[in-house]
Structure 1
Amino acid sequence: MIGLDTNVLLRLYLADDDSQWDSARRLVETLSEARPGYVNVITLIELIWTLRKRYAISRERVLDLVSGLLESRDIVLEDEALVEIAVDRAAGLSGELPDLLIALRNGEAGCRVTMTFDRKAAQHFPGMELLT
């Protein structure tokens, strides 16, 4: 298994740097079910936030990207079951996927609630509560 950093995934998705895109593409072409790429949850959240906030990629396109990663036989996502639940729930809710992932992961860790200053997250995601 080979760990994949956020910048590798970004270059691959955005194709905004020919040299780095080519290197990332060649790396991904070497991945297989027996020798997959690994994306941890921190990398996934960083990828999503960067695409949404820096590149203004739509929420729907980001959900499609994460769904594609979930379906790939050449990529292993950390806590894949939780990511799948988050993607399924996010499709029917407003708000950002990273916030939902945080709330779900904290719930699994035994947190009764996740406190936040993010009004949108607190309004849309069960398990998040606005700190006032």
Structure 2
Amino acid sequence: MIGVDTNVLVRYLAQDDEAQSPVASKIIDGFTPDAPGFISQVALVETVWVLTRSYKMTRDAVADTIETLLRARELVVEGAESGYLALASYRATKADFSDALIAHGGRLAGCRETVTFDKGAASAAGMRLLGAD
């Protein structure tokens, strides 16, 4: 299995670099269900960030892209179950994908709750807000 870094994944998805996009495509298009590529949760979160911030993609477009990656039989996504749950939260609420992934990953790991100082993460991703005493 070959791991794919964020920059390779973004070059593949965006097809916006004359030199790097074809190289990324050759690698990713070469993956098969029997010899899949690997995407870490960190690369998935970074990809959402880059597509949102640098490429100004809408939440719906980003969500569709992440769903395609999660469903691809040619890719293994680390923690795919929490990825799907985070994607559902990302689609249904105003939660950042990363916050939703943190909250759902904690639940799947057996945490009774995830705590945060981030008001947005608490309200949108279902974390418990801590006060700064």
Q: Which residue of 1 aligns with 2:53?
A: 53
Query: Does the Cα contact within 8 Å between 2:82 and 2:108 map onto a contact in 1?
Result: no
Q: Which residue of 2 aligns with 1:113?
A: 113
1:129 aligns with 2:123: no
Normalising by structure 2, what TM-score?
A: 0.88
Normalising by structure 1, what TM-score?
A: 0.89
Task: Quote the Cα distance in structure 2 between the aligned partners of 1:121 and 1:50.
Answer: 19
The equivalences for 1:6-25 within 5 A come to 6-25=6-25
1:72 aligns with 2:80: no
Gaps of 5+ in 1: none
Q: Which residue of 1 aligns with 2:88?
A: 88
| SS of equivalent residue, structure 2 residue 56 | coil
Task: Quote the Cα distance in structure 2 between the aligned partners of 1:22 and 1:68.
Answer: 20
Task: Quote the Cα distance in structure 2 between the aligned partners of 1:62 and 1:89.
Answer: 13
Deviation at 1:8, TM superposition (A): 0.3
Deviation at 1:55, TM superposition (A): 2.7
Stretches (4+) displaced over 6 A: none
Q: Which residue of 2 aligns with 1:29?
A: 29
Could you report, residue by residue, the CA deviation over 1:77-107 in whole angstroms, capped at 9, with x for unpaired residues?
A: 1111221122123322122111100111122
Deviation at 1:26, TM superposition (A): 0.9
Task: Quote the Cα distance in structure 1 between the aligned partners of 2:55 and 2:29.
Answer: 25
Aligned-residue RMSD, C-alpha: 1.5
Task: Quote the Cα distance in structure 2 between the aligned partners of 1:62 and 1:15.
Answer: 15
Query: Does the Cα contact within 8 Å between 2:89 and 2:125 map onto a contact in 1?
Result: no
| SS of equivalent residue, structure 1 residue 76 | strand
Deviation at 1:54, TM superposition (A): 2.9
Query: How high is the sequence identity, in percent, across the aligned residues?
Result: 35
The number of residue pairs the alignment matches comes to 131
| SS of equivalent residue, structure 2 residue 19 | helix
